[in-house]
A = this chain, B = another copy of it.
Amino acid sequence: MTDDDEHRLARVTELAKRRGFFFAANEPYGGVAGFWTYGPVGAALKRNVEQRWRERFAHEEGHMEIQSPTIIPEPVFEASGHLDDFTDWVIECPTCETSYRADHLVEGTGEVEDAEGLSASALESLIDELDISCRSCGDSLQGISVGEFNLMFSTAIGPGKGEPGYLRPETAQGTIVDFPRLLEYARGDLPFGAVQIGPAYRNEISPRRAIIRVREMTQAELELFYDPEEDEPPLGAVAAVELELYPVEAQEGDGEHRRLTVAEAVDGGIIDNPWIAYYLGVATTWFHEIGVDPAKLRFRQHLPGERAHYAADCWDAEAYLDDDWIELAGFAYRTNYDLNKHHEYSDGSYTVFKPYDEPVTVERATVDPDMAMLGPEYGAAAADIASALEALVETNPNAFETGDAVTIEAAGETHEIALETTGYTVETVTESGEHIMPHVTEPAFGIDRLVYTLLEHNFHEDVVDGEPRAYLELPPTVSPNVAGVFPLVDADGLPERARALADRLASAGLPITYDERGAIGRRYRRQDEIGTPFCLTVDHRTLEDDTVTLRDRDSTKQIRVEMVEVPEVLRSLRSGEMSFEAVAANTEAVDREGNS
């Protein structure tokens, strides 16, 4: 990383506020930490990122997209474990009542690199040892106890005291809880995927770093439901993609990244879950395409103590931002954890019937205890004995095959039960399939952090015609606008021609912006700062030969393009089918801006 990376957060946030990417919500009221509003260009950039995600992770994968509510009733989170486990350690200053996330407080001393996985007592010891004080009033926090704080926003549904509900901390649970219905829409077949793009909430103790750690965010999450015994991802499609990996063994060992192809990572056992490997390959290519700097992207495996309560393995995509590696997306192998919980806690069935290729004939041993015999003999223990027999025949049917009595433990005693009393029989049954519980692998992307990453990774400063400028090198496929359309001057009928061009492009579905105010140079700078890749200027020569100048943001080069060709040229630049250089190779170059 270079000096250029320092203070980028502050510079990017200033530009974001001034140009309309994002700003603190409710500013006139002083705001509340962790809530941000996307301005016009920020909202457009965000929508474009979401749409590119949808195209890649839903449409191209052939998955369904659904939309479930953001308020979810308590029983769902009781089952999913979020009510117990979706917590951070909090410490409150007894003097000024400021609250802190205890692990961040400890990390803030610089003495401990990663305190996220530590227990309350470990954190309390460190706070005592390091003699940490309240950042707000300066009083010592020694001896203050660290408590648990659930990060879900709670509310009450309906009148009176209402039913308890929570704002979802992830879209995933809304998708997973409705699995029985989604399976119908998938016509009962595995594997299938369901995505959601929408709000999620975390009642952070200390939100920070602009839109990086917020209390209300947008998540794009894919739940892939599959049979772990049979279903395999199409690894061939991403086998050669190179991944920058930081597995557990490297974090605990030499601290070096491993640069491996997807195929190498799978074959070498670095990535255990093949679906995770597949999605890391897909995500790498996608991140690069939308403008994440490849040199500032890695995938870090969670350390065992760091994993969410539902995850058997998890890799985070991390971007280098604000002098730190920050999570952009998580790729979790959730196993059948959530489905199993909902199967147990709710009335729904979270299994899939998998027919065998051929019906299978099996012998099945069953018991049918004779209660008319057991009751009089064992009284209150009779029911327990019957249950014990039923359990035994499932785990060890052979016990019924030797001798004319079976020995069981029930109601705290050992009993000998005559074989004829157990009702033991062996039937031959034909089974056409079995019920299995699918496993889930989940790529989950934080859209706000991704939007921030695109701004920081693409923020550049250079000097053009002797003047400093700032520009955002956003790819045309995500930039808020694909082009600015200008008349060179506000006279001679140029505005009318320029506006007609702008209208024509807008009708063709191209996101453009029209501007006729101020010097042309300032209009270019404004577009540079919001990452508009191209500008079209109608000038006096347009009136003669029906051409316009097309200016490239990054090189500031200009070429002339026939007016009639502009929509198709812009369309192919937007989609990435053609580069500016390719367009320029076929057209006349003109002087740099201001001199055309």
A579 adjacent to chain B (CB < 8 Å): no
Residue pair A70, B28 in contact (C-beta under 8 Å) = no
Q: Does A551 contact B (CB under 8 A)?
A: no
Q: How far is the CB of A152 from chain B (nearest CB, A)?
A: 10
Residues of A136-175 contacting chain B, CB below 8 A = 149, 153-160, 162-163, 165, 167, 174
Cβ-based interface call for A92 (8 A): yes
The complex places the Cα of A25 from the Cα of B506 at a distance, in Å, of: 38
16 A-B pairs besides A153-B155, A155-B167 with CB distance below 8 A are A23-B178, A25-B69, A26-B177, A27-B178, A27-B180, A28-B350, A37-B66, A37-B68, A37-B174, A43-B66, A43-B67, A71-B215, A90-B159, A97-B160, A99-B160, A156-B203
A204's nearest neighbour on chain B, judged by CB, is B158
Per-residue B-contact encoding for A53-87, CB less than 8 Å = 1, 0 else: 00000010000111111111101100000000000
| Interface size classification for chain A | 35 or more
How far is B160's CA from A97's CA once the two chains are assembled, in angstroms? 9
Binds B, one of A313-321, A340-348, A374-382, A458-466: A340-348
Minimum distance in angstroms from A261 CB to a CB of chain B: 26
Q: What 6 pairs between A and B have smallest CB-CB spacing?
A: A28-B348, A40-B64, A28-B346, A99-B159, A37-B68, A38-B67
Tell me if A39 is interfacial: C-beta within 8 Å of chain B. yes
> Which A residues lie at the B interface, using CB under 8 A?
17, 20, 23, 25-30, 32-40, 42-44, 46, 59, 64-73, 75-76, 90, 92, 97, 99, 149, 153-160, 162-163, 165, 167, 174, 177-178, 180-182, 185, 187, 194, 199, 201, 203, 205, 215-216, 342, 345-348, 350, 506, 517
Instruction: State in angstroms the CA–CA spacing of A536 and B203 once bound together.
Output: 50
- Report whether B70 and A160 are in contact in the complex, using a CB–CB cutoff of 8 Å: no
State whether B71 touches A153 (Cβ < 8 A). Answer: yes
A158: which of B75, B180, B203 is its contact (CB, 8 Å)? Answer: B203
Name the contact of A29 in the complex, choosing from B75, B174, B216 (C-beta under 8 A). B75
Q: Which of B30, B65, B92, B181 has a CB less than 8 Å from the CB of A347?
A: B30
Whether the pair A157, B97 counts as a contact (CB closer than 8 A) is no
Copies of this chain present in the complex amount to: 2
Assess the A35–B71 pair: CB atoms within 8 A. Answer: yes
Q: How far is the CB of A430 from chain B (nearest CB, A)?
A: 26
B71 touches A185 (CB 8 A): no
A26 touches B73 (CB 8 A): yes
Bound-state Cα–Cα, A185 to B67, Å: 32
Chain B residue nearest in CB terms to A151: B159
Inter-chain CA distance A158–B153, complex, in Å, is 9
- Say how far A258's CB is from chain B's closest CB, in angstroms: 35
Contact for A28 among B71, B158, B342, B506, CB less than 8 A? B342
Q: Which of B44, B46, B65, B153 contacts A44 (CB 8 A)?
A: B65
What distance in Å separates the Cβ of A39 from its nearest Cβ neighbour in chain B?
A: 6
| Chain B residues whose CB sits within 8 angstroms of the CB of A158 once the complex forms | 32-33, 99, 203, 205
In Å, the complex CA distance between A162 and B59 comes to: 41
For A28, what are the chain B residues with a Cβ–Cβ distance below 8 Å?
Answer: 177-178, 180, 342, 346-348, 350
- A182 CA to B251 CA, complexed, in Å: 46
Given A160-B97, A174-B37: A346 and B29 interface contact (C-beta under 8 Å): yes
- Kindly list chain B residues whose C-beta atoms are within 8 Å of the C-beta of A23: 178, 181
Distance between A90 CB and nearest chain B CB, rounded to angstroms: 5
**Residue in B closest to A518 when the chains form the complex, CB atoms:** B187
Whole-angstrom distance between the Cβ of A483 and the nearest chain B Cβ: 15
Distance (Å) between the CB of A150 and the closest chain B CB? 10
Tell me, rounded to whole Å, the shortest Cβ–Cβ distance linking A331 to chain B.
23
Residue of A43, A163, A342 most packed against chain B (CB within 10 A): A43
- Do B159 and A69 touch (CB < 8 A)? no
Distance of A371 from chain B, by nearest CB (Å): 34
Known: A37-B174, A159-B90. A185 touches B20 (CB 8 A): yes
Report whether B76 and A29 are in contact in the complex, using a CB–CB cutoff of 8 Å: yes
Contact status B178-A37, CB under 8 Å: yes
> Smallest CB-CB separation from A345: which chain B residue?
B29
